[in-house]
Amino acid sequence: MKDGEERTSVFGDRRIQILIGLVIISLALAYLQGIKFGIEFVGGTRIPITLEKAVSPQVMNDIVTVIKTRTSKFGLTQVVVKGVGETQIYVEVPKSEASLVSDLERIVKKEGRYEGIIDGKLAINDKDMLPGSITQGVPQVSGNRVSWSVNFAITHEAAKKFGDVAYGKAGYPVYMFLDRPENSFVIMDRATLQGNKSMDEREAMDMLSAAAIKDEDVIRIFLLENWAIERATLGQYNFTNETRAVVSEDIPESVLEDLQAMNFTIVKKTRAEMIPEFNLRSDKRYAEKWPAIGLLSAPALAESVTKGSAGQFYVISGPATGVTLDEQRVNADKETRDLKSILSGGALPVRVILGSSTTIPAPLGAEFLRYSIIGLGCALFAVVLLVVLRYRHPKLIVPILLISLAELTILVCIMGSVGTIDLSAMAGIIAAIGTSVDAQIIVTDELTKRGSHDTTKRKLEKAFGIITANALIAIVAMVPLLFSGLIETIGFATTLTMGYALGVFITRPAYGVIAGRILELDEQSHHEAAN
């Protein structure tokens, strides 16, 4: 009965209850979300990228870094990016749903060139942005419309330039572009030109033409209905065989053949992308959105920023697509995450072309995963055996194993359900379990120290002081890896940091309670036997 009472008192301890509760929550999370393993263990999908032209090794490294930064800022769990030769890049993700591959393709294929244009003059671009200042705004609902936004800051010099360009132009639109095509022209039909609205063709043409001007580079618009005449006038402009012809994917074959015969680079857009949207709600009517040429939105200039001075904080915003409010909210979140990740990574120095995705086998496979788990178990058992031989307390086998197993369960379930367990994360898990056993040895060593007259509570305080100091030093050492942006090291750093935090606040205190109680009972038994 006495033993039963002691066991009840152990499980009634708040530290033990917190550990048990966290294990249950972790298992429930893994059950609901599933555990995701990396490419090394389960294979994945490869997306080949071809660069528009050959680049030097330094430029290739820059492009790989940009893509890695974009994917990490977007929130993708594990993405492997590697350059192959001078013109190829492979982007690989673990086996997963098609939506993940679609998200990846969408953010990788963008060049990432942001430009803000006022009255035909470039006022701001992505090079003006301060690194690390790009944040995702909260979608705003106004009536039956949802808008998205991305916030950023610019340099002092860029703010002065913006103020000069915007001076005296209150109410003018700021045409905000992402990947505005240079040296290009657009071919579209009248219905598309008018944005599927019953508005004047001439006015629609004027508004789109105004939005298509940037300094000396003008994106000209030609109508399919006048193609025989328009084709003859193409020679009047300074177009070359590097000029891009932006067309709808359903363009007539005869027109496509004419463009190919003139050696233009064909850029096909969907029908939806070709349709512009217009701001018809104010005295200044203008084009507000046109995906075909990368026009994201066109907010009007407030009078306060048109008096010669401008601030350093700006917002890129625009209307979300969708019929219902829920659909617009989902699309607004996707739009902001896309834009934030693309701008955070920076612009690509060359244009990229995405190839068809292919399935790749696991380089290590499930067998390696099984061996990793077996190796982890064997190492844990060997350490436990050494601890038992060293302190001659066989009863410590169970708490050491249980605490280590609980920590392993929590780390695997959380990392596998929230993120992805790749090779670096697996290394972090193994290292975390190693530090866990090391900490339990420190606790045991303090509790079994001979000649000490300290109470069990005091001994545990000394042990936790050592453990906490070690953990703080290790976490500080992991900070550079956590914020390095390198996906290859983030998994290791995240898992090991989580392991240290888990140990200091949850598992080490729980082990101290159990080990302290076992050693107290043993000492009490020996004392009673001696009497």
φ, ψ (nearest 5 deg) of residue 115:
-145, 135
The answer on 7 and 79 residing in a single domain is no
Q: Which of 294-303, 338-347, 410-419 is the least confident region?
A: 338-347
Task: Compare 245 and 346 and report the one with higher pLDDT.
Answer: 245
Asked whether residue 511 is assigned to any structural domain, the reply reads: yes
Tens-place pLDDT, residues 168-181 = 888 889 999 999 99
Q: Are residues 463 and 426 in the same domain?
A: yes
CA distances from 32 to 23, 38, 98, 417, 498 (A): 14, 19, 20, 8, 21
- DSSP 8-state secondary structure symbol assigned to residue 320: P
CA-CA distance, 259 to 230, in Å (whole number)?
A: 12
What percent helix, strand, coil does the chain show, rounded to 5?
55, 20, 25
DSSP three-state, residue 211? helix
> In a 3-state reduction of DSSP, which class is residue 50?
strand
Is the pLDDT confidence value at 216 over 80?
A: yes
The verdict on residue 350 lying in a domain is: no
Is there a single domain that holds both residue 229 and residue 203? yes
Residue with the bigger pLDDT between 159 and 323: it is 159
Is residue 30 domain-resident?
yes
The span from the CA of 103 to the CA of 170, in Å, is 38
3-state secondary structure of 285: coil
Whole-number Å distance between alpha carbons of 55 and 85: 9
- The pLDDT tens digits for 433-491 are 777 777 877 887 777 776 666 777 787 888 888 888 888 888 888 887 777 656 667 77
Q: Please state the length of the chain.
A: 531
Are 430 and 335 in a shared domain? no
Residues 337 and 205 occupy one common structural domain:
yes
Q: Which helix (H) or strand (E) holds 313?
A: strand 313-319
Is the pLDDT at 426 greater than 90? The verdict is no
Assigned token pair, 13:
């301890």
pLDDT at 3: 43
pLDDT at 324 over 90: no
Kindly state whether residues 203 and 285 are assigned to the same domain.
yes
Q: pLDDT tens digits, residue range 66-108?
A: 888 887 777 665 677 888 888 898 888 876 656 677 778 888 8
Q: What is the 3-state secondary structure (H, E, C) of 60-128?
A: HHHHHHHHHHHHHHHCCCCCEEEEECCCEEEEEEECCCHHHHHHHHHHHCCCCCEEEEECCEEEEEHHH
Helix pair angle (365-391, 423-447), 10° resolution: 10
Residue 146 and residue 258 in one domain: yes
Q: Nearest 5 degrees, angle CA 295-CA 300-CA 305?
A: 120
- Please give the full DSSP string across 254-273, using - where no structure is assigned: HHHHHHHHTTPEEEEE-HHH
What token pair was written down for 172?
A: 């003018």
Residue 355 in any domain: the answer is no
Residue 354 lies in a domain: no
Q: What is the CATH number of the domain that holds 523?
A: 1.20.1640.10
* 8 three-class SS: helix
CA 289 to CA 451: how far, in whole Å? Answer: 80
Which is higher by pLDDT, 81 or 118?
118
**CATH at 85:** 3.30.70.3220
Residues 70 and 214 in one domain: no
Are residues 94 and 191 located together in one domain of the fold?
Answer: no
CA distance 485 to 375: 30
Predicted pLDDT at 293: 94
pLDDT at residue 95, rounded to an integer:
67
The pLDDT, as a whole number, for residue 5 is 42
Report the interhelical angle of 423-447 vs 508-530 (nearest 10°): 30
Render pLDDT for 140-178 as a digit per residue (tens, 0 to 9).
888 788 888 888 888 989 889 988 998 988 888 999 999
State whether 77 and 129 are in the same domain: no
Q: Which residues contact 168 (CB under 8 A, 6 or more apart)?
A: 306
Q: Which domain holds residue 241?
A: 112-345
Domain assignment present for 416: yes
Residue 313 has pLDDT above 90, yes or no: no
Is 420 in contact with 491 (CB distance < 8 Å)? yes
Query: What per-residue confidence (pLDDT) applies to 27?
Result: 92
Closest among 515, 517, 145, 204 to 325, alpha carbons compared:
145
Residue 2's pLDDT band (boundaries 50, 70, 90)?
very low
Query: Per-residue confidence at 315, pLDDT binned at 50, 70, 90?
Result: confident
Higher pLDDT, 248 or 149: 248
pLDDT category at 7 given cuts 50, 70, 90 is very low
Say what the pLDDT of residue 400 is: 79
Q: What is the pLDDT of residue 46?
A: 84
* Segment 369-385 mean pLDDT: 73
Task: Confirm if 459 and 447 have CB atoms less than 8 A apart.
Answer: yes
- Tokens standing for 43? 């294979």
Q: Is residue 353 part of a domain?
A: no
Q: What is the pLDDT of residue 527?
A: 61
Task: Say if residue 121 is in the same domain as residue 102.
Answer: no
Considering the domain architecture, whether residues 160 and 258 belong to the same structural domain is answered as yes
Strand-pairing partners, residue 186, are 221, 246
Whether residue 356 lies inside any domain: the answer is: no
Boundary of a domain, candidates 345, 378, 401: 345
Structural domains counted in the chain:
3
